[in-house]
Structure 1
Amino acid sequence: MAGGFFDRSAIVAPPGWSRWLVPPAALAVHLGIGQAYAWSVLKTGLSQGLGLSGTATALPFQLAIVMLGLSAAIVGTTVERRGPRWAMAVSTACFAAGFLISAGGIALDQYWLVVVGYGGVGGIGLGIGYISPVSTLIKWFVDRPGMATGIAIMGFGGGALIASPVESALLGAFGRTPGGLASTFAVMGVAYAIFMSLGWLLIRVPPEGWRPPGAPAESEDPAQQGPAVSVSKAVRLPQFWFLWIVLCFNVTAGIGILERADGIFRDFFRTTTAEQQLAAAAAAFVAILSLANMLGRFVWSSTSDLVGRKNIYRVYLGLGALLYLAILTLGEGNKVIFLIASLLILSFYGAGFATVPAYLKDLFGTYQVGAIHGRLLTAWSAAGVLGPLIVNAIVDASDAEGPAKYTTSFIIMTGLLAVGFVANELIRPVDPKHYVSDAERAAPEGSAAAEERRQGASR
């Protein structure tokens, strides 16, 4: 994939090309990799068809989330240099291959291939595919970065709404036998290879010096051009690590409800609802949470363009902490308070993902924002372990019944959100002394001039 077709120079947009074609390209990839949120359907199929435990069937998803953060961090700089077509094509290949390897593993009765395929190879596709469309959108929509990234990352949250019924239909058609499961994984691998390819075929990058229509021309004075911080410098600054804490704890708090949504609803309302009605209501609750997770990514991140990134995170973290306390003190038996509080918490969870690229752009500029975003996503990997640990380990070890079993976990979540709130308050603009040189700013990573400079330095 190193040929001209995949080079950044091959996808520079011609004059008059509409930047509104970039969001559909980003959505093609994010709707694909967003299938990860629908793993529970495949997990149930694997449990029934292969007789595996819940712990075993959770391994591919857990590894995929860990690999998402690690691959985004490790490959982020390469993604910036090689460009979005190369990155999105690699993401498509890895994500589709993960399903096909898993299909082979199931057919051969080698479950470890499912873990390696979906979790390892597919997880790499998740990480690379997550960051590249986002960094490209930020460069096309420097005037509305929150809205632009919200569109793409809303796709990641909404991927499950497409994948869940498709997976259920395939499992119903092929059956939950080993052969049927292998066929389901194989069909999904081929389908995602085709669907996600629309993204890397359509994607374009703006020409050097391009500005949005109606935007004022960029000043020739570097001091007036805003931040431009390299990834190597950014990860050594306190702003990066404060934002890492903000993202990690906001995600952890959201997972606190998302991870165990069905069980939480049942425990809070078991005594006030008939069992059959309870099961239906719990399923509806999970579906509504998924919708809140998706819509929050667009609505709140777009709002951040108007009120500012620090202010919107004050809402996510400060109000989120108060909502957890409301569930603890007023939620038992009160479906209205419980539902409103839970929906808002999940909307803040999704919005945290969507707003953080724009926050990074505000702090560090667009110079290497994709690579910086990749490093920051290690916070997601940490939260993916921390959130379920706090909820499942503490709740499963509790002797209490009903809502009381969640008291300790929810108090911890409230505390983490409070710590995140403080970290957000400590974030300050980056001192200009940390900006890259004027020459580097004039030839951003991935540009022809930057490539010539890099090759010259290697000779």
Structure 2
Amino acid sequence: MNKQKIKNRWLIAASAVGIHISIGSVYAYSVMTNPVKAIFDVDGSVVKWAFKIAILLLGLSAAFLGRWVEKVGPKVSGTTAGIFYGIGILGSGLAVQLASLPLFYLCYGVIGGIGLGLGYITPVSTLVKWFPDRRGLATGMAIMGFGFAALIFGPIMQSLFDSVGVANAFYILGVVYMLIILLSARYIERPPEDYMPKGFQPREGKTVKADMANIDASEALKTTRFYYIWLMMFINIACGIAIISAASPMMQEKLNYSPMEAAAIVGLIGVFNGLGRILWSSLSDYLGRANTYIVFFVFQVLAFYFLPKITMELSFLVILFTVITMYGGGFATLPAFLGDLFGTKQLGAIHGLVLTAWALAGVVGPTIYDMVKSTTGSLDTTLAVFAGLFLVAFVVAMFMKREVTNAYKKLNKGISFA
């Protein structure tokens, strides 16, 4: 092994963030809801289907192309992601210009969604291998950019819509996203076989030896723990994404914000989404992965139930932003948790399979929100439904805690994995 050819792992991490910041712009979708629905002269819930389709295709492409991503490596898959996502956004501009809603669904939802899925899983297993000493931190970095993207692109989108028009805004953004992803993909690559960072001193219970297993994706599908984590992620995502997709209109309705003020809140949601990814994934190295999810679900049962009853603007926003940190934290802690549960043999492929939960939740969460909200006209009732779902997630998380604790006892490793 020629050490001179080994790349800087922190620049690899920066490349991963570059990819995720670009594709994470999907989280600023609520900013474009009102401008786009005016172009197509339809209700906002109709326009939101492009977002739902994009998340659906994200999960499906991550699941079905996960093994391909591992086979060809992050450089090829990252480049492919940039091409798909860039063309998807550029095509969305053409759809707006032609006033074609089906073309908008195809470009933003299907083509852009495939780019999302490829770009999302491309850096994850790569970074875990570059950072065997800081697995939680690494997965936080890999996914942090996805959360921070709304901070950057939410206000930029609104500004472009106002200054150059909706179609031209998509054209500009499509070129920008494609360039950032392609440039990032040129640097990112896997570490050498059996790579260990210079000066790394493994501590007992902190290395890959502490993993419950080291199995491939097919074997993972035969375990109970796979379905526990799938259900936990599905509920966390469905509830969180419902709030994110409705954030801008909700702020305009609940707090009487202007579209630009609401866009700024979407940007702040991006801040806390990103911060939560680094914060909670890093804390999970110390709290234990299962305990981290239990904290998420207990807090959100209470938060979703009481949030619409809060009249103070500051309190409302603080609770909302805390929920968003946990939504982002769930994503960032997931790859590290999967590494603990199944090892790193096919981490990217297993991660892709679990992200089918995201595919389904991206459709189910916003749809439940829209249906309950339109039927009852009550934000209280709408969020109470999601509080009930979090109660189910808490029960599943407790089963998961028991599962991993018993598994480690059977391994006789003396490892405390809560």
Q: Which residue of structure 1 aligns with residue 282 of structure 2?
A: 302
Q: Which residue of structure 1 aligns with residue 366 of structure 2?
A: 388
Corresponding residue to 1:318 among 259, 277, 298: 298
CA distance in 2, matches of 1:252, 1:238: 21
- Measure how far apart 1:133 and its partner are: 0.6
- The answer to whether residue 122 in structure 2 is matched with residue 144 in structure 1 is no
Task: Name the SS of the counterpart of 2:195 in structure 1.
Answer: coil
Q: Which residue of structure 2 aligns with residue 425 of structure 1?
A: 398
Q: Deviations over 1:88-133 (max 9, x none)?
A: 0110111111123333334444432221112111100000110111
Q: Which residue of structure 1 aligns with residue 157 of structure 2?
A: 167
CA distance in 1, matches of 2:88, 2:262: 31
- Measure how far apart 1:348 and its partner are: 0.5
Q: Which residue of structure 2 aligns with residue 253 of structure 1?
A: 239
CA distance in 2, matches of 1:327, 1:103: 36
Aligned 8 A contact 2:154 2:267 in 1: no
CA distance in 2, matches of 1:200, 1:68: 18
Task: Name the SS of the counterpart of 2:45 in structure 1.
Answer: helix
Q: Deviations over 1:349-378 (max 9, x none)?
A: 111111111110111111100000001011
- Measure how far apart 1:160 and its partner are: 2.0
Aligned 8 A contact 1:256 1:391 in 2: yes
Q: Which residue of structure 2 aligns with residue 209 of structure 1?
A: 194
Aligned 8 A contact 2:28 2:266 in 1: no
Bigger mean CA offset, 333-342 vs 243-252? 333-342
Using a 3 Å threshold, how does the CA distance of structure 1 residues 338 and 54 change in structure 2: closer, same or farther?
Answer: closer
Q: Which residue of structure 2 aligns with residue 188 of structure 1?
A: 173
CA distance in 2, matches of 1:248, 1:52: 29
Q: Which residue of structure 2 aligns with residue 407 of structure 1?
A: 380
- The answer to whether residue 87 in structure 2 is matched with residue 97 in structure 1 is yes
Using a 3 Å threshold, how does the CA distance of structure 1 residues 174 and 65 change in structure 2: closer, same or farther?
Answer: same
CA distance in 2, matches of 1:16, 1:104: 43
- Measure how far apart 1:267 and its partner are: 6.2
Task: Name the SS of the counterpart of 1:426 in structure 2.
Answer: helix
Equivalences for residues 38-117 of structure 1 within 5 A:
38-117=28-107
- The answer to whether residue 202 in structure 2 is matched with residue 229 in structure 1 is no
Q: Deviations over 1:170-198 (max 9, x none)?
A: 3334335xxxx1x3322322222211112
Task: Name the SS of the counterpart of 2:123 in structure 1.
Answer: helix
Q: Which residue of structure 1 aligns with residue 269 of structure 2?
A: 289
CA distance in 1, matches of 2:356, 2:7: 35
Using a 3 Å threshold, how does the CA distance of structure 1 residues 253 and 55 change in structure 2: closer, same or farther?
Answer: closer
- Measure how far apart 1:18 and its partner are: 2.0
- Measure how far apart 1:79 and its partner are: 0.7
Q: Deviations over 1:407-442 (max 9, x none)?
A: 33333222211211221222224969xx9xxxxxxx
Bigger mean CA offset, 414-423 vs 368-377? 414-423
Using a 3 Å threshold, how does the CA distance of structure 1 residues 52 and 13 change in structure 2: closer, same or farther?
Answer: farther
Task: Name the SS of the counterpart of 2:65 in structure 1.
Answer: helix
Identity of aligned residues (%): 36
Corresponding residue to 1:375 among 346, 350, 353: 353
- The answer to whether residue 131 in structure 2 is matched with residue 131 in structure 1 is no
Q: Deviations over 1:59-107 (max 9, x none)?
A: 3222111100000000001111111111101101111111233333344
Q: Which residue of structure 1 aligns with residue 310 of structure 2?
A: 332
Using a 3 Å threshold, how does the CA distance of structure 1 residues 50 and 394 change in structure 2: closer, same or farther?
Answer: closer
Bigger mean CA offset, 149-158 vs 405-414? 405-414
Mind listing any 5+ residue stretches in structure 2 that lack a counterpart?
A: 412-418
TM-score, L = length of structure 2: 0.87
- Measure how far apart 1:307 and its partner are: 1.6
Aligned 8 A contact 2:124 2:335 in 1: yes
Aligned 8 A contact 2:137 2:282 in 1: yes
Residue identity matched to 1:233:
E
Aligned 8 A contact 1:268 1:333 in 2: no
TM-score, L = length of structure 1: 0.80
Corresponding residue to 2:333 among 355, 366, 385: 355
Aligned 8 A contact 1:323 1:341 in 2: yes
Mind listing any 5+ residue stretches in structure 1 that lack a counterpart?
A: 1-11, 270-274, 400-404, 436-459
Q: Deviations over 1:232-286 (max 9, x none)?
A: 11112111110011111112222343333355556666xxxxx6x7888766544
Corresponding residue to 2:10 among 5, 11, 20: 20
Q: Which residue of structure 1 aligns with residue 320 of structure 2?
A: 342
Higher CA-based Rg = 1
CA distance in 1, matches of 2:112, 2:183: 18
Using a 3 Å threshold, how does the CA distance of structure 1 residues 397 and 175 change in structure 2: closer, same or farther?
Answer: same
Corresponding residue to 1:198 among 183, 186, 211: 183
CA distance in 2, matches of 1:169, 1:341: 28
Residue identity matched to 1:306:
Y
Q: Which residue of structure 1 aligns with residue 414 of structure 2?
A: none
Bigger mean CA offset, 188-197 vs 130-139? 188-197
Bigger mean CA offset, 415-424 vs 318-327? 318-327
Bigger mean CA offset, 309-318 vs 47-56? 47-56
Q: Deviations over 1:277-319 (max 9, x none)?
A: 7888766544433322221111111111222211111111112
CA distance in 1, matches of 2:343, 2:382: 37
Aligned 8 A contact 1:13 1:206 in 2: no
Residue identity matched to 2:389:
L
Q: Which residue of structure 2 aligns with residue 33 of structure 1?
A: 23
Task: Name the SS of the counterpart of 1:125 in structure 2.
Answer: helix
Residue identity matched to 1:88:
G
Q: Deviations over 1:200-225 (max 9, x none)?
A: 11112111111233334799xxx957
